[in-house]
Amino acid sequence: MERADFKEFKRLVVKVGTSSLTYETGKLNLAAMEILVRQLADLHNQGREVILVTSGAIGAGSGKLGLRRPPRTIPEKQACAAVGQGVLLHMYEKFLAEYGITAGQVLLTREDFSVRRRFLNARNTLTSLLQFGVVPIINENDTVAVDEIKLGDNDHLAALVAGLMDADLLLMLTDTDGLYTADPRNDPEARLIHWVDEITPDVEKLAGTAGSRHGTGGMVTKLQAARIATHSGVVTVIARSSVENVMRRVLDGEEVGTVFQAVPRRMEMRKQWIAYGASVAGKITVDAGAAQALREKGKSLLPSGVVAVEGRFGMGQMVSIVDPAGTEIARGLTNYSAAEIERIKGCKTAAVPEILGYRHFDEIVHRNNMVLKL
């Protein structure tokens, strides 16, 4: 694929960060929002399907409440989000209405991706909104999210949405031009990287740290999001939001931002959910032989290859499969509970009925219900 092919993209997810929507005071930058919405409206008028994943609710709320510092505790952040979400959506609705476009708010949490039924419901809802010509505006539901269910940053959320909706492009707009060879704030020799074929460990090292004062992310979270999106078959671009007509220029194939190439074969929806959506309920450690069989031969996990099990989980729940060194090699849906696996670990499949009194499945995790670590 080349940048010229971007002109054919029909469905895109645009993610905009807090730093691109607010001033240092935390209050909304209305001029920046208006420019953003004008570009979204133009893409919509071209016949493209546009989904916006927006940060800024907590920042908008803290500005509305007159806070002199960013909120620090979860309750403070939730209170700010409760105020800010209304402010944020109102402004998006106002600006979009000027172009005759309807906005639809969708608030999501981790559970909307980890529970299969809710995952599919979210997809159906967003699909219907697009069919009605609505621009969905998505944010994490910060008013109810806590550490256990919080996605953590809207970069991750945007990547999950892009995979969920089979998007052609994930465009992450931020306060930097893209991925550099070094931190441009500290190294005058740093160069912008225009194209990344694969997110390798060496590429990840370039991310550094750091989000803005009011944001939660940084280049680290954007690379993590790009990995999720590209392995879901979605081309990803990181670009500076303040670049004039940045959305049109990216889609016209101009050399703006950093492009992360999608893997050639899009992961099927169910596999995407296993790999990135579902919450892990426990861990299974396998021996070296089983690890090799999973990695290199695409085999299912049998009882004989299991050496240890951790956690309390039941049949059908998501488990992490790790090698003897503790490195995760796969995730999958287990056919047996943790208690059952503890009893049959290391045994031949033929011995399972004698130990448990039944054998519903030959495999602990079938290869069709498993995704290898990418």
Binding residues for substrate: 55, 142, 154
CA–CA separation, 210 and 227 (whole Å) = 19
Numbered residues of the known binding site = 15, 55, 142, 154, 174-175, 216-222
CA–CA separation, 136 and 126 (whole Å) = 7
Within 8 A by CB and 6+ apart from 214, the residues are: 18, 19, 22, 24, 26, 58, 59, 62, 70
CA–CA separation, 272 and 119 (whole Å) = 11
CA–CA separation, 128 and 311 (whole Å) = 38
Bridge partners, residue 135, by sequence: 103
DSSP E strands in 21-62: the ranges are 49-54
CA–CA separation, 247 and 40 (whole Å) = 8
Q: Closest Cα to residue 303, out of 254, 217, 365? A: 365
- Could you report how far apart the first and last alpha carbons of the chain are, in Å? 21
| Long-range pairs of 188-193 with CB within 8 A, sequence gap ≥ 24 | 192/258, 193/258
Strands 282-286 and 135-140: unpaired
Strands 169-174 and 11-16: parallel
Numbered residues of the known binding site for ATP = 15, 174-175, 216-222
Asked if residue 13 lies in contact with residue 171, where contact means CB atoms within 8 angstroms, the answer is yes
Asked if residue 239 lies in contact with residue 178, where contact means CB atoms within 8 angstroms, the answer is yes
